[in-house]
Chain A
Amino acid sequence: MIRPEEIKMSAEETGKWGMVINQDICTGCQACVAACAMENNVTFVGEEDSGYGRSMHWIRIERFWEGEYPEVKMTPNQPMLCQQCGSAPCEPVCPAFATVHSTAESLNLQVYNRCVGTRYCANNCPYQVRSFNWRDYERPEPLPNQFNPDVTVRRRGVMEKCTFCIQRIHKAQDKAKSEGREVADGEFTTACAQACPANAIVFGRVDNPQSLVSQLAHKGHGVKHLEELGTLPNVTYFKGG
């Protein structure tokens, strides 16, 4: 019998940044979706395209139910976002190196200005969390005033996805570096976690056993989605705990 602490995991397998999502306390209020769109300049595609499966959300609340109407039982909401896989299926298939792995941050990066729009990465993403800019969507006044200056605005024909708010990560790291210290746990968080009124989303360092996210992730009943594919996802879900 091997005890969990004896298992040596490589840096890639452990990851660096991770998230714990508690589905039991998620109310499905969509605050994370709105906050993410504001933070990351995610575009609004309008009613028609949205209804046709072209909504561009880096995080979405998946709602499921059991049974046939009217005997319907709702199951817990499932916030779904890029799982920042340690071994991501989206990465090797891009012919232009537009989707690459950051060894420094252990994140999956999307290089917008290198993307030529083959959409292979989105086909190969088992979580279906990539959004494609099908058009140059309109952004009527005064919406352009709320652009986040830290994040690139994407144009048509480019793939995009959740970055774990990498601009916030870098800001916190820069600040900590200038003050000559490490980034403290809970010093900053992603937009979705910040906006969640139920605190269902917790973000932090998974490679630091002291951090809240590690403590939660190792509580025992966490589940990683589609782990059987060997994607090494960095988001842990709690349901029915």
Chain B
Amino acid sequence: MADHKHDAGHAHSEEHFREKHLMLDPLPRGVMNDMVMESMTGKPTWKFWTVVIVLSAIVAYGLVYTWAKMIAEGIGIAGVNRPSYWGIFLVNTVFWIGISHAGTFISAILRVFKAEFRRPFTRAAELMTTFGLVQAGFSVFMHMGRVWLSYWLFPYPNQRMLWPNLHSPLTWDLLAITTYLLSSTMYLFLPLIPDVAMARDRSTGWRKSLYKVLALGFRGTEGEWAHLRNAMNIFAFAIIPVMFSVHTIVSWDFAAATRPGWSSTIFGPYFIVGALHSGMGAAVVVLAVIRSNMKHMNYFIRGEHFDAIGKLMLIISMAWAYFFFNDYMVQWYGGDKWTKQLLHFHEAGPLGWMWFGMLICNIVIPWAILWNAKWRATPWLVSTVGLIINVGMWFERYIIVPISLTINRMPFTWRMYNPGAEIPLGIGTLALFILLYVLASKVIPLIPVWEVQEGQMAHELKKFGRETVVSVSELE
């Protein structure tokens, strides 16, 4: 237990350290708890209600009404056709699963590697995972011709002894996404328990009853902490292979097919890196929005965090560039005439601007901006780059799904794809994602307070002669 009192007349460098690093700028626990409670329970402003109403209206029209209409009238109201049997639906599925990868990456991988900067925003990232997967689920189910029979894809006992076809990449996909959704939700819940317990002790009314249930009677005894830490450790390690397998399996939907442009052996890692690319971009956007719109978040989320994620974004962008080049090179070098046609169609076809746009958004802009430490620590700039990366990654999926489907081995069937109902449906899923996040920000503590406090206890500024040194003690 460390409750350090620092001298009033500290050196300039010490002040500098505190200002920059959350871990070196401790507040009393009670104060910090109250800050998080206030950010959550504060009376909603008119701005909040406007956002909620507008988003609900978009969800009601884009998702509920349009989907109901599509179920009643058929997939025909969307733009899918022959040969683009999969359109924006699958683009969005891959996109949302990609977004969901950042949560696990930030939370599990950085936790396992003990990256201290992760502490204040693991929760925000994990929430993104769960809410992103919900949208991926919507996107994939809405593309089915007879969605009311989708339970046939699950292995349930039935009189005819019919099972799902385990040869089909779509079955693998369904199992992988379901596993990921369940495990990431549990992984979201475990570190939430101490925070919910904190909230339970500081609230009244319906909140108290809700948190009471969610906290599972957590009191903070040594035994409870030991159990919780064990469970979190197991999940943090176990969810990493799940995360890698999910997007590899999603890529197999394409890579296992006999189509030019799709059957590429590099698709697994290429998709994972792409997922992290869009996911980190989305995480940084979410953090910037939280920081500028919620109370006290300036204290928790600082330039150092944008700087740290910015570095990751830069490295992931480089990795993505490598995999993109590798995929393109090997396919082109293969010399298959249909693949050649397709690659030429990508860059010189009517949607060639999208191909170049993808390279600019995913490589040129991140590399041009994120190399600079000062720019990296500027929230609006990094989050703009994050947004641009997401546009670029959406383009990438659009090129892989409907544009690549346009070219096949039967030139007689080549035809362009024009989206129809996919547009309101896609906007509807985006609105639902934001809406879930906005509502969750009022119920779930977005900052893992205990994790921040734990980090602050471990960090200490020590003076050796004239020099101020950051010392860290190993926890556990």
Contacts and interface: CB of A to CB of B under 8 A. Distances in A.
B12 interface: no
A21 B283 CA distance: 58
B146 A117 contact: yes
Contacts of B165: 92, 94-97
Contacts of B83: 53, 123, 128
A158 B76 CA distance: 12
Contacts, number: 142
Interface in A35-69: 49, 52-54, 60, 62-64
Interface in A200-228: 226
Contacts of B146: 115-117, 156-158
Nearest to B412: A62
A136 B168 CA distance: 28
Contacts of B171: 95
B278 to A, nearest CB: 23
Task: Give the interface size bracket for A toward B.
Answer: 35 or more
Contacts of B73: 135-136, 156
A4 to B, nearest CB: 27
A80 interface: yes
B336 to A, nearest CB: 10
Contact of B81 (A52, A126, A127, A156): A52
B81 A54 contact: yes
B164 interface: yes
Contact of B74 (A89, A93, A136): A136
A78 B145 CA distance: 30
A53 B82 contact: yes
Interface in B63-84: 73-77, 80-83
Mostly helix, strand, loop or mixed at chain A's interface?
loop
A127 B146 CA distance: 24
Contact of B408 (A62, A120, A126, A136): A126
Contacts of A54: 76, 81-82
Contacts of A163: none
B257 interface: yes
B170 interface: yes
Contacts of A93: 167-170, 256-257
A224 to B, nearest CB: 13
Contacts of B411: 64
A114 B82 contact: no
Contacts of B410: 62, 80, 126-128
B405 interface: yes
Contacts of A122: 82, 85
A119 interface: yes
B473 interface: no
Contacts of B168: 92-95, 120
B413 interface: yes
Given A62-B412, A128-B410, A157 B75 contact: yes
B405 to A, nearest CB: 7
A206 B410 CA distance: 25
A91 to B, nearest CB: 8
A156 B257 CA distance: 25
Contact of A49 (B76, B147, B253, B409): B76
Interface in B143-187: 143-147, 149-150, 152-153, 162-165, 167-171, 174
Contacts of A226: 409
A151 interface: no
A130 to B, nearest CB: 8
Interface string B237-272: 000000000000000010011110000000000000
Contacts of A118: 143-145, 170
Contact of A135 (B76, B149, B256, B405): B76
Interface in A135-191: 135-136, 156-159
Nearest to A91: B167
B157 to A, nearest CB: 16
A189 to B, nearest CB: 25
A123 B163 CA distance: 23
**Which of A123, A127, A136, A159 is packed against the most chain B CB atoms within 10 Å?**
A123
A127 B411 CA distance: 10
A63 B405 CA distance: 21
B299 interface: no
A16 B86 CA distance: 33
Given A95-B164, A115-B145, A126-B409, A132 B82 contact: yes
A226 B260 CA distance: 13
Contacts of B74: 133-136, 156-157
Contacts of B150: 116
A229 interface: yes
A116 B85 contact: no
A182 to B, nearest CB: 33
7 contacts: A53-B413, A95-B153, A116-B149, A117-B146, A123-B83, A126-B410, A128-B413
Give the 10 A-B CB pairs with smallest separation, nearest first: A117-B145, A157-B145, A134-B76, A156-B74, A135-B76, A135-B74, A53-B81, A119-B85, A62-B412, A157-B146
